């Protein structure tokens, strides 16, 4: 079997564990539907971990099983921006984090949070999938 075929076969068996955090079930669903089972053909299939509370996010991230996280900056009682900054400050080699901001003008907040990428509400499905795929590609290198 050629290296190309082996890589293709390996890619089919690998998965990308993505955490999505929001207190709003509709926001979590929008993110999952936008990304789907595979955000792009060149990245692994996605397995989802949904969290509705900050404590659940911290526990999941501490497990070391999360490859990438999507955090809703509009979540309550703790928004994803503050949670992102906490995770980036506390977890050695923290996985990449995509934050969902309230509006495009909040990009400075995303930078403050130390997020690896940001997408603003209202969520554009193609934009969310592209941002997740970009972060996933960074993990492969």
**CATH number for 49:** 3.40.50.2300
Q: Is 5 within a domain? A: no
Q: Is 7 within a domain? A: no
Whether the Cβ atoms of residue 139 and residue 68 lie closer than 8 Å to each other: yes
Q: Is 2 within a domain? A: no
Domain, as residue range, for 72:
15-140
Whether the Cβ atoms of residue 63 and residue 71 lie closer than 8 Å to each other: no
Q: Is the dihedral of CA 86, 66, 19, 108 positive or negative?
A: positive
Look at residue 6 and tell me whether its pLDDT is greater than 80. no
In percent, the amount of the chain with pLDDT more than 90 equals 87
How do strand 45-51 and strand 97-101 relate by DSSP bridges? unpaired
Buried b (16+ CB within 10 A) or exposed e, 102-135: eeeebeebbeebbbbbbbbbebeeeebbbbbbbb
What are the tokens at 48? 């989802």
Whether the Cβ atoms of residue 112 and residue 81 lie closer than 8 Å to each other: yes
Q: Is 123 within a domain? A: yes
Nearest-10 crossing angle of helices 80-90, 54-62 = 30
Q: Is 6 within a domain? A: no
SS3 content of the chain, % helix, strand, coil (to 5): 50, 20, 35
pLDDT tens figures, 33-89: 999 999 999 999 999 999 999 999 999 999 999 999 999 999 999 999 999 999 999
Q: Is 122 within a domain? A: yes
Question: What confidence score (pLDDT) does residue 140 get?
Answer: 80
Q: The pTM is what?
A: 0.90
Q: Is 92 within a domain? A: yes
Number of domains the chain contains: 1
Question: What confidence score (pLDDT) does residue 11 get?
Answer: 47
Q: Is 59 within a domain? A: yes
């Amino acid at each position: 079997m050629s290296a190309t075929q082996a890589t293709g076969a390996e890619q089919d068996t690998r998965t990308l564990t993505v955490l999505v955090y929001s207190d709003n079930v509709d926001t979590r669903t929008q993110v999952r539907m936008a990304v789907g089972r595979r955000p792009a053909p060149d990245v692994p299939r996605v397995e989802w971990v949904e969290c509705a509370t900050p404590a659940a996010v911290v526990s999941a991230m501490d497990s070391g099983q999360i490859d990438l996280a999507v955090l809703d900056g509009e979540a309550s009682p703790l928004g994803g921006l503050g949670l992102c900054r906490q995770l980036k400050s506390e977890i050695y080699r923290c996985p990449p984090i995509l934050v969902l901001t309230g509006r495009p003008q909040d990009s400075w907040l995303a930078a403050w949070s130390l997020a690896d990428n940001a997408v603003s509400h209202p969520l554009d499905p193609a934009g969310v999938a592209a941002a997740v795929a970009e972060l996933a590609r960074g993990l492969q290198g």
